[in-house]
Amino acid sequence: MVKFATGKMIRLSTFILTLLIANSAYAQRAVATLDRSTVAVGEGVGFSIACENFQPSRLPSLPSISGLQISNSGSGRSFQLGGGQQISTLTYNFLLTANKIGTFVIPGISIRSNSGVFKTQSLKLRVVASDSSDNKSQISDYAFIRLIPIKDEAYVGESIPIEIQLFLQNGQFNMPELSAEGFNLTEYPEPRSSRAQKGNTIYQVRTFQTAATPVKSGNLKIGPVKMDVVLKIRQNQRRRSPFSDPFDGLLTRYQDVPVKIEAKAQNITVKPLPTNGRPDNFNGAVGQFSITAKASPLEVNVGDPVTINIEMSGQGTIESLSLPNLEWRGFKSYEPSVLSKKTDPLGINGIKVFEQVIIPEKETIKEVPRIEIAYFDPKAESYKILSQGPFALKVKPSTKSNLISTTSLPENDSSDLEDEKLKQSEIIWIKYEIGPLGQATPFVTHPTFWLLQSIPLLFFVGSLIWRRKKNALADNPKLRRQMQVERNTRQSIKKLINLAEKNKTLEFHKELAVVLREQIGLKLDIPAEGITGDSINESIAKSNIKPKALDKLYMLFNNCDAASYAASHSTADLRKCLIDLKEVIDELK
């Protein structure tokens, strides 16, 4: 019995292990990625190879590519749990630096392992000229912006991918403002984040993408593009005290400097769609597309519906795709329903599905007509026609019986008339007496009904007020800071009272200094870091603070500076500091 149970357990364990191995093998793959697809000459861009659920036999290496300098940047491993699977990823990082303009193809890399050979997909890296305007001002050492159209020639209606790259050392930014007269722009998806090195400076790069579709021909301009950024510029100050200070490190602070940066406009040559060879059913679709269609059912009666599903997919202005006016001779047709799906963030690639319902009106119909859709291919620079069908259709006579009409009967057929009258006399007519239910009071007249109806309205109004309050708070950084400082101050005062009762002088003055810096920073609208009694003489004097409160402010700062090396204070002295602190806070408000 024991041997039987042991053997059964071994078989079960072997089965589970086989499933795990099969599951792991199914998930094995190698993926190559570029931090950015477009860079300038002399800039470095990250290239990585991710090996999922397998261990390479040796370190992957990139082939030599003329015009690209390749260096190894190390490797890292990560683990992820999801969908009942554990994904182990070993990532090899490389740095690519271009030294000339052009489009470089990074071929697929074959990676060998004990479980087989895995190959990455090939990638393209576009290298443009370095914009000399990047270094025209001192601001460009901290931030600059670059506008990159993927192509400078296009046809009317052809989507042009646009990249806006923001290079920023440290700071905050708003969304870019792109001028594009003569173009329709798509919304910006979430920007991609990466890093770049230019000279000896490391920048954080945010890449914004959009698609510009020209609506007219001619020499047009895309841009300029402008952005509002707030730079955090580091400022160094001299030390004022040779003693060991618990607030050491506060003499270095950052200054917020709001600036507007700009990238110049780029020229785009837009050509009109050719008139030669334009199909009659062309309705403005520009791109590269494919089509599939099916009709069902293919055996119906007269008057029964037939549904035609037409799916168009490819690259182009997916949202603007529409069916031409198709002729359905012998059918009754209805307006088609439309469903579209984007397969990339810009909406350039996607799928659009049309569902057309037609009804055959006679049994002589033998097929669903051929479906033809014309579009213009900008790469081939010619018109093309997609077609599907015709679909063989079998239509049978309708099974619905015709109503008897008295006008269609012969005048001498009195027996049929009598039979029809007899059938009509057998009809039981609907009674119109309402009965006792009609005497009940309608629920709509009850106050409870209207109270229940008001609940969604009250919820909507409350949600609207809450949303407006949240938006107002998000658009007002000064108000957010004030609320944060008030919340921190309440918590710090409770902590100070507790420290004063326990006569913990050093901890008391450290917390007191934090409160003073936050209150003064809020009052003067400056960063709280680095504020001391000496650094605010001129600024605080211009704030219309009463001399008595100003003296107490300086006294509190002096107590904090001396707390690290002076003798301990009594509990009464600490309580006196609390009273002075509250007076100073009230005066600063």
SS3 497: helix
Give the confidence band of 491 by pLDDT, cuts at 50, 70, 90: confident
Q: Token pair of 188, please?
A: 């910006």
pLDDT at 239: 47
Same domain, 197 and 322: no
Quick one: how far is CA 284 from the chain centroid? 29
Contact 198, 226 (CB under 8 A): no
φ/ψ (deg, to 5) at 274: -65, 150
CATH number, domain with residue 61: 2.60.40
Of the two residues 244 and 196, the one the predictor is more confident about is 196
Contact 341, 351 (CB under 8 A): yes
CATH number, domain with residue 220: 2.60.40.10
pLDDT at 220: 94
Same domain, 98 and 153: no
Q: Which of 236, 234, 224, 229 is nearest to 204 (CA)?
A: 229
For residue 582, what are the domain limits?
Answer: 477-588
Of the two residues 570 and 34, the one the predictor is more confident about is 34
Output DSSP code: residue 134. G
Q: Does any domain span residue 311?
A: yes
Same domain, 8 and 121: yes
Same domain, 122 and 145: no
Identity of residue 586: D
Same domain, 136 and 264: yes
Q: Does any domain span residue 464?
A: no
User: Per-residue pLDDT tens for 68-83?
Assistant: 888 888 888 888 776 5
Per the listing, tokens 């938006």 go with 471
Residue 391: is its pLDDT beyond 50?
yes
CATH number, domain with residue 484: 1.20.120
pLDDT at 57: 87
Identity of residue 6: T
User: Per-residue pLDDT tens for 163-173?
Assistant: 999 999 888 89
Give the confidence band of 203 by pLDDT, cuts at 50, 70, 90: confident
Same domain, 155 and 258: yes
φ/ψ (deg, to 5) at 574: -65, -35
CA dist., res. 93 & res. 76, Å (int): 8
Same domain, 144 and 210: yes
CA dist., res. 522 & res. 515, Å (int): 11
Q: What is the CA radius of gyration of the chain?
A: 38
Same domain, 48 and 93: yes
Residue 553: is its pLDDT beyond 60?
yes
Same domain, 124 and 13: yes
Same domain, 14 and 67: yes
pLDDT at 319: 73
Quick one: how far is CA 12 from the chain centroid? 46
Contacts of residue 452, defined as CB under 8 A and 6 or more positions apart, other chains included, come to none
Contact 358, 333 (CB under 8 A): yes
Residue 64: is its pLDDT beyond 80?
yes
Of the two residues 414 and 122, the one the predictor is more confident about is 122
- Which residues of 123-169 form beta strands (DSSP E)? 123-128, 143-149, 153-155, 160-168
End-of-domain residue from the set 396, 423, 447: 396
Give the confidence band of 508 by pLDDT, cuts at 50, 70, 90: confident
Q: Does any domain span residue 544?
A: yes
Same domain, 202 and 318: no
Same domain, 256 and 175: yes
Give the confidence band of 446 by pLDDT, cuts at 50, 70, 90: confident
End-of-domain residue from the set 73, 97, 128: 128
Give the confidence band of 299 by pLDDT, cuts at 50, 70, 90: very high
Residue 100: is its pLDDT beyond 90?
no
63-72, 234-243, 319-328, 566-575: segment of lowest average pLDDT: 234-243
- The count of structural domains within the chain is 4
